[in-house]
Every structure is written in structure tokens, then in C-alpha cells.
Amino acid sequence: MSVQTNVNLYCKSKVSKAQAVVELTKALKRKSRETVRATLMPLVGKFWTVKLIDGEGKAKGTQVLDSSHKNYENAKRDLYDIVKAISSGSSGKKEAIEIPAELIAAAEKLAKLSKKYEQSRSLANKAVAEAFAQ
């Protein structure tokens, strides 16, 4: 699928967003956040029928979405969300965290206990949150 098709899928449906992000990430891999944003801005604008105009002030010399258009907020939000989703994995290497054995043992015990109840993950998350709150 083309980049425009994936942008359309992202903007149309929450269900297709995950797949669109995967495809867009593949299509725009190794691109900087600024390049990804500049590439996707006209495509998101096209989907929402928001034209690009010459920027003013700090955006002088660049194209920006027309803030006077009725769909500007939708386009701005989708552009931000897509760029964030695509660029989040490429910001740098994440440091591996070593988890102490006693924490793993406690987590395994909590997981085993919570499996007896409906919504076990939710219950386990709430139990941990309450423990931290005390």
C-alpha cells in the first residue's frame, strides 16, 4: 500500500491505526522526525482537505496546515499522533533494565494469584498501583 493509503487508513479508523503505523514505519524507516513530519503533513492535509500555506513567524520558510480550516484541529492531531507513533521507536537505543530475581518471583506469584479472577491483568495492575500508593 502507498504512504497516502496508510495515512488514510490511520485517519479513518482506530482499528486500522496499528497496521497503518507498522506500514508507515517500514516506508519511512531511518528518516528523521522532521522528515517524517514534512512527508506526512501534505498527506494528512489532503485527507482532511486542509491546504498547506506558507508559515509565518517561527515557521517562516516552511509549509504549515491552514489553521483557519474547519478540519485543522483533526489534521493537526492526526499528524502529531502519526509522527509520534512512527518516530517513537527510532529516537535511540533503550537501555536494558535488569530486573532483580526477587521482583520476578513476586510478579510470578501475583500473576498466578490473579489468574483465579476475571480481568486478572487489570486486577494485578490495580493491586500494584495500590501497593505503590501506600
**Confidence check: pLDDT of 77 > 50:** yes
Band of residue 16 on the pLDDT scale cut at 50, 70, 90 = low
Residue 96 forms part of a structural domain: no
Report the distance separating Cα 26 and Cα 88, nearest Å: 13
pLDDT (mean) for 78-100: 72
pLDDT of residue 91: 46
| Residue 2: pLDDT over 70 | yes
User: Residue 25 falls within a domain, yes or no?
Assistant: yes
Total tally of structural domains belonging to the chain: 2
What is the predicted pLDDT for the residue at 92?
Answer: 45
List strand residue ranges (DSSP E) for 25-117, in order.
52-54, 63-65
pTM of the complete model = 0.58
CA distance 34 to 38: 6
Check whether residue 30 and residue 56 sit in a common domain.
Answer: yes
Check whether residue 30 and residue 83 sit in a common domain: yes
Phi, psi of 2 (to 5 degrees): -80, 165
Burial class (CB in 10 A: 0-12, 13-18, 19+), 11: buried
